[in-house]
Structure 1
Amino acid sequence: MTTPAYRDARGGDAAAVAALARRTFTDTFGHLYAPADLALFLDRHTADAWAAEISDPAYAVRLVEADGAIVAYAKLGPPSLPFTPEHGAVELRQLYVLSAFHGGGVAQALMDWTIATARARGAAALYLSVFIDNHRARRFYARYGFEEVGPYTFMVGTHEDEDIVMRLAL
């Protein structure tokens, strides 16, 4: 396995990022959902949707490549959570790493990039949501200083999950 390389996403990456988004979500959470609910959720991760976000300056997407394939990504964008954040807040929309790359510093590098990018954009705060039972991710975010704000209902198809909204003052 080669050393991971980091770069910003480009329009031509959309199909590969969409496939990775579907794979990492399914690998991490797929066992929790009925196949129909999972399929409804995954249908949102299209190459066209990713291409639109990659080309939109309101978003920033960082990729990690190893052995010629994208193995992780982080997506920063405008707040989408159902609450009113302070002016200038941004949201870490997604941060996913293939399990073969867990524990190797990839998630830390992506989080460092996310925080630095949010600060460079002048954001006052960085928000994210995390599945309530994803204790590993919650500990990871807490190490960076994120604090719990409150619950959030995250829909996977017609299935309601409880997520926790977390905030980091920048």
Structure 2
Amino acid sequence: MIAYRDAMPGDGPELSAMAQRCFTDTFGSLYRASDLAAFLDRAFGADGLPSQIGAPDFAIRLATDDGRIVGFAKVGPNALPFPQAEDANAVELYQLYVLGGYQGEGVGPALMDWAIAEARTRAADTLALSVYVDNHRAQAFYRRYGFVDVGRFDFPVGEHVDEDRLMVLAL
């Protein structure tokens, strides 16, 4: 049975490993090994995701199955340059990751509902995210929640630069 809870500092190593596995399973074949390793270290290494657990600007929600992390969502201050970003009180959805065996089981929707509620708790008027241009499944998922595509974003993975789509949801 899937349970949901806020991340705690002790979750750092397991959360880092889960995030790296999820990203690699989904996108790993797209990159040179050196670019992938650099990205994984920057995003999910000790100075990345684990260091944000408990940080006042970030909130991280976990989905667990028998105590094992199978999904997570992270929200925090917006850093995306979407149109009207300067005029918006925006929160960014940095990641919403679900391990492959748990996709289609309601984990993603539960984490998205949490992310939207968390953004509203922070008095945001916009929830922003970026998504890989060819990740059509994720884009369709976000559109079901009312997100709209507002432009391009260059997303670095090591020295490689991907095209992402910027999507926003008016809250």
Tell me, yes or no, if structure 1 residue 126 matches structure 2 residue 124.
no
- Aligned-residue Cα RMSD (Å) equals 1.2
Structure 2 Cα separation of the partners of residues 106 and 66 of structure 1: 11
Q: Is the CA contact (8 Å cut-off) linking 1:59 and 1:76 kept in structure 2?
A: yes
39-48 or 70-79: bigger deviation: 39-48
Distance 1:51 1:157 in 2: 19
TM-score (norm 1): 0.95
Runs of 4+ in 1 over 3 A off after TM superposition: none
Structure 1 match to 2:63: 64
- 1:167 Cα deviation (Å)? 0.4
Conservation of the 8 A alpha-carbon contact between 2:12 and 2:49: yes
TM-score w.r.t. the length of structure 2 is: 0.94
Separation (CA, whole Å) in 1 of partners of 2:45 and 2:154: 23
Does the CA-based 8 Å contact 1:14-1:48 persist in structure 2?
Answer: no
SS for the counterpart of 2:117 is helix
Unaligned runs of 5+ in 1: none
Deviations 1:39-70 (A, max 9, x none): 11111111343343112111110001102210
2:73 corresponding residue in structure 1: 74
Between the aligned partners of 2:155 and 2:45, the Cα distance in structure 1 is 19
Residues 69-119 of structure 1, C-alpha deviations (whole Å, 9 max, x = no match): 101000001012245613421000000000000100000000000001111
Superposed counterparts of 1:73-152, under 5 Å: 73-83=72-82, 85=85, 86-152=87-153
Q: Distance in 1 between matches of 2:161 and 2:49?
A: 24
Rounded Cα–Cα distance in structure 2 between residues aligned with 1:154 and 1:48: 19
CA distance in 2 between partners of 1:50 and 1:166 (Å): 22
The whole-number CA distance in structure 2 between the counterparts of 1:156 and 1:48 is 16
Amino acid at match of 1:65: T
In 1, Cα distance between equivalents of 2:92 and 2:23: 18
Identity, % of aligned positions: 56
Equivalent residue of 2:123, what SS? coil
